[in-house]
């Protein structure tokens, strides 16, 4: 879903297409997810063994144990690896576009560089994303729990990103939303907003919890620390430069009306 919103700008008819894609994505994704999960639930080996799987990757372990054949398991795993590759391509594209769009609005340090395009492609933003990833990868050598924190902060940050506009919209009594071309009506909309806010708040707390208690230094979930740290850094940058500059979402000029 995050990807739909990140790529919204490149749609043909975003006012209609984006909300429609978003509303289909959830039920369809759920059904497909069930088809993936159920066979695993029905055939999986004992949980204690899964928890000891190499690299903490349960899936390869489950598949090789359940199938009982190396060749078969490798074939299935290669298929899954390709799914992951596609996924990596998509997410990197989305992250690059997101970086590029945000730097176009002068919201990043050195925005001038990241907002450039080469032959219509946001190459610098893409390079920035790749370099940041590779630098964060180094953290794993130092401390794996710190690295896990960086990895898991993504869910928290995305949820928080959803939280702000939904809350704003509800706060201002959905004035802007009600003008949109694609709506579900004021009552359902408000209910959906309220549920979303409660759920996200709950999720934020949940994802900040350690997965197992009692907590030790290494099993502690440091995602909340990273999240607050990043937020503080962006706040500092805002006061240094963002406030003076014009943060006028570039898209305004495209007169798109989402939601």
Partner 1 sequence: MYYWSYQLAGETSSRKALSYVTGWFWLIGNWTIALSVNFGFASLIAATISICNPDWTASEWQLLLVFYAICIFVFLVVALGDRMLPYIDAAAAIWNLVTIVAVLIALASTAKQGRHSASFALSNYETSFSGWGQGFTFFIGMVSLFALPQPELTPRSRTTPSSLRVQCHGYGDLYGRRMRES
Q: Which residues make beta-bridge pairs with 121? A: 118
Distance CA 141, CA 119 (A): 37
The single residue among 59, 113, 184, 191 that binds partner 1, judged by CB under 8 A, is 59
Q: Does 200 bind partner 1 (CB under 8 A)?
A: no
Query: Between 191 and 215, whose beta carbon lies closer to partner 1?
Result: 215
The single residue among 112, 121, 194, 195 that binds partner 1, judged by CB under 8 A, is 121
Distance CA 172, CA 183 (A): 17
In the region spanning residues 5 to 34, those forming contacts with partner 1, defined by CB under 8 A, are: 5-8, 10-13, 17-18, 20-21, 24-26, 28-34
Q: Are 181 and 16 in contact (CB under 8 A)?
A: yes
Helix 144-171 vs helix 223-237: angle between axes, to the nearest 10 degrees? 60
Minimum distance, C-beta of residue 181 to partner 1, in the bound complex (Å): 14
In the region spanning residues 179 to 198, those forming contacts with partner 1, defined by CB under 8 A, are: none
The single residue among 15, 116, 140, 208 that binds partner 1, judged by CB under 8 A, is 140
In sequence order, what DSSP letters do the residues of 185-215 get, joined into one string?
Answer: -HHHHHHHHHHHHHHHHHHHHHHHS-SSSS-
Query: Between 182 and 230, whose beta carbon lies closer to partner 1?
Result: 230
Q: Does 80 bind partner 1 (CB under 8 A)?
A: yes
CB contact set of 99 (below 8 Å; sequence gap of 6+): 108, 114, 122, 125, 126, 128, 129
The single residue among 19, 115, 177, 189 that binds partner 1, judged by CB under 8 A, is 177
Minimum distance, C-beta of residue 176 to partner 1, in the bound complex (Å): 5
């Amino acid at each position: 879903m995050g990807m739909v919103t990140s790529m919204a700008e490149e749609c043909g008819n975003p006012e209609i297409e984006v909300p429609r894609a978003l509303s289909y994505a959830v039920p369809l994704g759920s059904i497909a997810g069930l088809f993936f999960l159920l066979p695993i639930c029905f055939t999986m080996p004992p949980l204690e063994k899964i928890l000891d799987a190499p690299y903490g990757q349960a899936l390869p372990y489950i598949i090789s144990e359940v199938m009982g054949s190396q060749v078969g398991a490798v074939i299935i795993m290669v298929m899954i690896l390709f799914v992951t590759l596609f996924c990596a391509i998509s997410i990197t594209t989305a992250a690059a576009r997101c970086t590029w769009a945000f730097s176009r609005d002068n919201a990043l340090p050195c925005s001038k560089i990241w907002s450039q395009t080469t032959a219509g492609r946001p190459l610098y933003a893409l390079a920035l994303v790749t370099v940041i990833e590779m630098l964060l990868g180094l953290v794993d050598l130092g401390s794996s729990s710190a690295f896990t924190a960086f990895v898991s902060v993504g869910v928290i940050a995305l949820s928080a990103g959803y939280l702000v506009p939904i809350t704003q919209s509800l706060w201002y009594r959905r004035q802007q939303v009600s003008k949109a071309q694609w709506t579900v009506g004021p009552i359902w909309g408000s209910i959906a907003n309220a549920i979303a806010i409660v759920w996200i708040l709950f999720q934020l707390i949940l994802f900040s919890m350690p997965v197992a208690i009692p907590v030790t230094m290494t099993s502690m979930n440091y995602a909340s620390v990273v999240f607050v740290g990043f937020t503080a850094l962006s706040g500092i940058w805002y006061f240094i430069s963002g406030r003076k500059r014009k943060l006028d979402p570039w898209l305004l000029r495209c007169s798109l009306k989402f939601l």
